[in-house]
Structure 1
Amino acid sequence: LPAPAAAMEAAPLVSFGVVADIQYADEEDGCDFWGRRRRYYRHSLRLLRAAVEVWAAEQPPLAFVVQLGDCIDGVNARRGAAEGALERVLAALRRLPVPVHHAWGNHELYNFCRDRLASSGLNSRPAPAPAAGPPAGPPGDCHAYHFSPAPRLRFVLLDGYDLSVLGRDPASPSHRESLRRLRERNPNENLNSPAGLKEPQFVEFNGGFSQTQLDWFDEVLKFSDENQEKVVAMGHLPIHPDASDKVCLAWNYEDALSVIHSHQCVVCFLAGHLHDGGYCLDSHGVHHLTLEGIIETPPESNAFGTIYVYDDKMVLKGRGRISDRVMYF
């Protein structure tokens, strides 16, 4: 048997779908910011619908699907088409009989302010957790939370744009502080340019984790350590340089890694943002999996997967550009 098939002989604890960077727009094909990479704006919705058909037919049924951010493209904002584009993506995902957990990426924030996202179908933060567990999420408008779909298994969704100049009122303290941090490390006139930077992740299309969010994350992982849980963390932005190019990392990715590495429970970090995808097993035994993006996937292919979680491993069954992978822990 091929490795993934052999690894999947027993019933999984839980299975879930994964997809990243759909970036749908009702537009002709375009290019990336640098004019080098083709983007298939209309076809991205067709590929998502095909993924939904596969997920909906999975047996045993999936527990949930993770959408890792950038579900519609920033071009929608320039056309006044953001609301309609978002509704088409959400309508496709509503065909699933299971919950969808949404990370927020830079393209969501090109189209909407954070308040609008919080009142939209992209707000997947659940109701507050029972008093016995860690807080459901950080205080404020941070879109980070955790949930447990099976005993001794916890998922944590992080908000990589908690610190960001995108999606916030320019007069707000958070925007001013984020802009200060960005300009300290990026003197370029174009803040989306990493040219000449020692830390090339400090560009406007990335963001970072506030100390409040990191402290909350640390508290959740402490709870999981104490209760012998395995944790899968996830967010739009990659946090390990060996699973991404340096330009696509979260601003303070090292701070997030430091929290993870101070605990025993985290087995995997899932991310999007880098459309080519990436993978590494880090020095602490944590798998970092960056999913290839649908937006740059040709219409005859696809880019999504299903992950099956077992006591000692996660098995990724990829479709199209996403490869099969077995991640032992």
Structure 2
Amino acid sequence: MDRCSLPTPLFTFGVIADIQYADIDDGYNYTQTRRRYYRSSLQLLKNAQRSWSKSAVKPQFILQLGDIIDGFNKVHDTSERALDTVLREFNSSPVKVHHVWGNHEFYNFNRSALLHSRLDSRLHADGSPSGAPARADIYAYQFSPFPGFTFVVLDAYDVSLLGREESSEQYRNAMNVIKLHNNNDDLNCPPVSESLKQRFTMFNGGFSKDQLDWLDCVLSSADEKQERVTIVSHLPVHPNSTDPVCLAWNFNELLAILRSHSSVVCYMAGHAHDGGYCLDKDTGVHYLTLDGVIETPPNSDAYGTVSVYTDRMVLEGYGRVMNRVFMFS
């Protein structure tokens, strides 16, 4: 079916990732190989907001897939000011924004601060008992924008060295996980080993058993109701959708859960600024890694609008983001 022949969508939503705004001059990534456009990332967000506000069918919500401001803000003591600047732009329209947490959120704020911040979007969660995990320190929730469709926001740094007090049990447990595979003095340096083990770095994290058990229950309920479920998080979980160094620590455990449920149709992530995509042909689940704003030149763009139909989702990409069609199996 040609896109022009598609009927009016059931609903649409916007998606953007890795804005990483900071009021500093352009710089480079950790390995000094990729240029980063810290100031102009705000203009690219404005471009996206302008496009969404002028759409014939207005997006019902926006998915912000993490790393909303850059870690350099912490160094310059400008974290709150940078966050104010970016959120002011998001607040320029009345559309709800679902914020995902990435590593740069934790470079700027600890977990306790984030759980009481404007980046806590759980007020948009479903009011049902299963709307969020029982553990209050896990930033995960579900919401339903339209009957028959559910979205689940996952906390990819639930198990992590980032955002946790060094004296905490959670920090010690995460250190035990990473040290099994990474013996470098600098834990942001990937281990020299098989490619998939390169994910065991400090800028990644994983999903706790409590969160995975909750997700399993959410998806079981969606299976029974024959709903379509889209899952969003900061870290990619399919090896064919990203560079191995960007994968979640226990991506295989999450994949096993997704593959055991018929309701899952798509998983969206950020983190890997070059983007990526793959289709799991055994399950029909689409894995999208969205291109990052921060490494997008000022004369381009990096965002998308997704139109949802009964049998598919259609991503209209702008700039570096490719157009894609996600058929429901």
Conserved in 2, the CA contact under 8 Å of 1:138 and 1:145? no
Instruction: Give the match for residue 57 of structure 1.
Output: 54
Instruction: Give the match for residue 161 of structure 2.
Output: 165
For the residue of structure 2 that corresponds to 1:147, the secondary structure is strand
Tell me the CA shift for residue 137 of structure 1: 3.2
- Cα deviation per residue 1:116-154 (whole Å; 9 max; x = unaligned)? 1111111001266444x6243342211110000001100
Structure 2 residue 5 is the aligned partner of structure 1 residue 21 = no
For the residue of structure 2 that corresponds to 1:275, the secondary structure is coil
Q: Aligned letter for 2:311? A: D
For the residue of structure 2 that corresponds to 1:281, the secondary structure is strand
- Cα deviation per residue 1:151-198 (whole Å; 9 max; x = unaligned)? 110000101000010011111111111111111111111111113133
Q: Aligned letter for 2:10? A: L
Instruction: Give the match for residue 245 of structure 2.
Output: 247
Instruction: Give the match for residue 205 of structure 1.
Output: 203
- Describe the shift of the 1:138–1:157 C-alpha distance in structure 2 as closer, same or farther (beyond 3 A): farther
**TM-score, length of structure 2 as denominator length:** 0.96
- Cα deviation per residue 1:48-73 (whole Å; 9 max; x = unaligned)? 01111111222222110000000100
Instruction: Give the match for residue 65 of structure 2.
Output: 68
Instruction: Give the match for residue 123 of structure 2.
Output: 126
Tell me the CA shift for residue 99 of structure 1: 0.5
User: In the aligned structure 2, how far is the partner of 1:162 from the partner of 1:65?
Assistant: 23
Conserved in 1, the CA contact under 8 Å of 2:236 and 2:247? yes
Instruction: Give the match for residue 325 of structure 1.
Output: 324
Instruction: Give the match for residue 310 of structure 2.
Output: 311
Instruction: Give the match for residue 144 of structure 2.
Output: 148
Structure 2 residue 105 is the aligned partner of structure 1 residue 108 = yes
- Describe the shift of the 1:5–1:271 C-alpha distance in structure 2 as closer, same or farther (beyond 3 A): farther
Q: Aligned letter for 1:263? A: H
* More deviation, 219-228/115-124: 115-124
User: In the aligned structure 1, how far is the partner of 2:191 from the partner of 2:59?
Assistant: 43
Conserved in 2, the CA contact under 8 Å of 1:138 and 1:144? no
For the residue of structure 1 that corresponds to 2:229, the secondary structure is strand
Instruction: Give the match for residue 217 of structure 1.
Output: 215
User: In the aligned structure 2, how far is the partner of 1:171 from the partner of 1:33?
Assistant: 27
Instruction: Give the match for residue 76 of structure 2.
Output: 79
User: In the aligned structure 2, how far is the partner of 1:174 from the partner of 1:140?
Assistant: 14
- Cα deviation per residue 1:217-276 (whole Å; 9 max; x = unaligned)? 000000100111000001000000000010000000011111111100000000000000
Q: Please list every run of 5 or more consecutive structure 2 residues that lacks an aligned counterpart in the other structure.
A: none
Structure 2 residue 98 is the aligned partner of structure 1 residue 89 = no
User: In the aligned structure 2, how far is the partner of 1:26 from the partner of 1:245?
Assistant: 29
* More deviation, 60-69/121-130: 121-130
For the residue of structure 2 that corresponds to 1:168, the secondary structure is coil
User: In the aligned structure 1, how far is the partner of 2:132 from the partner of 2:162?
Assistant: 24
User: In the aligned structure 1, how far is the partner of 2:127 from the partner of 2:206?
Assistant: 28
- Cα deviation per residue 1:183-215 (whole Å; 9 max; x = unaligned)? 111111111111313311110000000000000
Conserved in 2, the CA contact under 8 Å of 1:134 and 1:223? no
**TM-score, length of structure 1 as denominator length:** 0.96
User: In the aligned structure 2, how far is the partner of 1:127 from the partner of 1:29?
Assistant: 35
Aligned equivalent of 2:258, options 257, 260, 273: 260
Aligned equivalent of 1:235, options 233, 236, 243: 233
* Count of residue pairs the alignment pairs up: 325
Q: Aligned letter for 1:300? A: N
Q: Please list every run of 5 or more consecutive structure 1 residues that lacks an aligned counterpart in the other structure.
A: none
Instruction: Give the match for residue 284 of structure 1.
Output: 283
Instruction: Give the match for residue 300 of structure 2.
Output: 301
User: In the aligned structure 2, how far is the partner of 1:321 from the partner of 1:128?
Assistant: 31
The percent of aligned pairs where both chains have the same amino acid is: 49
Q: Aligned letter for 2:224? A: E
Q: Aligned letter for 1:125? A: R
Tell me the CA shift for residue 4 of structure 1: 3.9
Instruction: Give the match for residue 189 of structure 1.
Output: 185
